[in-house]
Amino acid sequence: MLVMRRRAGESILIGEDIEIQIIHIGESRIKIGITAPKSVPVSMKEVKLVGQENLAAAQLRSVAALRHLLDRLIEGPTGGEK
Amino acid sequence: MVTTQTPPQRCDTRYFGPVDYDEQSVMLFPDGIPAFEQEQRFLALRQPINEPLVFLQSLANPNLCFATLPALSACPGYQLSMAPEDLDALGLEAGRQPAIGRDVLCLAILSLEENAPPTVNLLAPIVVNLHTLCGRQAIQTDSPYSHREVLPLREAACS
């Protein structure tokens, strides 16, 4: 991984068309501005993780099997009252 | 939901055959959800036998249905930490987190892989404005939860 040090207001260029600007550096997060061609999708990494998880979740085959598992969890020694 | 003038409609569902529903109970997701951006209309299906599960059934695609748990059932101390953009997109008050149950419905999508305990996505719950029924999958900021929390949750995560 390439590591660069930048200050607020400074930028990084990726190729000819993509610019990443450090807009503001806060205590626990930074604000970044991204300029890229429309053809380049830009999203938070979490969106991809969540998308993959949604795809996996949509494959569920049987409600009965799920309910059985949950019932066992709830009735088990570590289960909650809810 | 109280039925008014509009006659009930019928849709096919992935798990429960045809189901009648009221147009006023349709939840609208203007941006869909990640990996299903084109799916904008969902029903929340509940059945006594499957409590506390809530099923999110797509109206456009009968084969698409998510099994979910209310976030507070999965994790009694669950707290929302929504980004300002998500609050804005759902028409929720800026500057404070919505109250689960009063302002919003908050559901965690369940996932089941073979030979593994079920997991819930508490990083990105489905949040629906109860007054407008507008919803989105809201990735939480500074969240202590992951998109794959194993059930039952470790006690520390919920306190």
The pLDDT, as a whole number, for residue B151 is 86
Interface of chain B toward chain A, CB-CB under 8 angstroms: 15, 33-36, 49-50, 52-53, 55, 64-67, 72-73, 76, 109-113, 117-118, 121, 123-124, 137, 139, 142, 147-148, 151-152
Which of B46, B51, B151, B153 would best serve as a mutation to test chain A binding (most A beta carbons within 10 A)? Answer: B151
* Structural contact between residues A46 and B147, judged by C-beta atoms closer than 8 angstroms: yes
The pLDDT, as a whole number, for residue B2 is 58
Q: What does the pLDDT look like over B91-133, one tens digit per residue?
A: 999 999 999 999 999 999 999 988 888 999 999 999 999 999 9
Contacts of B85 in chain A (CB under 8 A): none
A75's CB contacts (< 8 A; 6+ apart) are none
Q: Does A26 touch chain B (CB under 8 A)?
A: no
pLDDT of B87 strictly over 90 = yes
The pLDDT, as a whole number, for residue A81 is 43
Q: B63-82 b/e with 16+ CB inside 10 Å = b? A: ebbbbbbbbbbbbeebebeb
Backbone angles phi, psi at A69, to 5 degrees: -60, -45
- Cα–Cα distance for residue pair B25/B78, rounded to 1 Å: 25
Q: What does the pLDDT look like over A27-75, one tens digit per residue?
A: 988 999 999 999 998 988 999 999 999 999 999 988 888 888 888 776 6
Q: What is the pTM of this model?
A: 0.86
Option in B109, B139, B148 nearest A47 (CB): B139
Distance of CA B78 to the CA centre of its chain: 14
* Structural contact between residues A22 and A32, judged by C-beta atoms closer than 8 angstroms: yes
CB contact under 8 A, B148 and A66: no
User: For B137, which residue in chain A has the nearest alpha carbon?
Assistant: A50
Size of interface A-B (CB pairs under 8 A): 88
Q: Does A73 touch chain B (CB under 8 A)?
A: yes
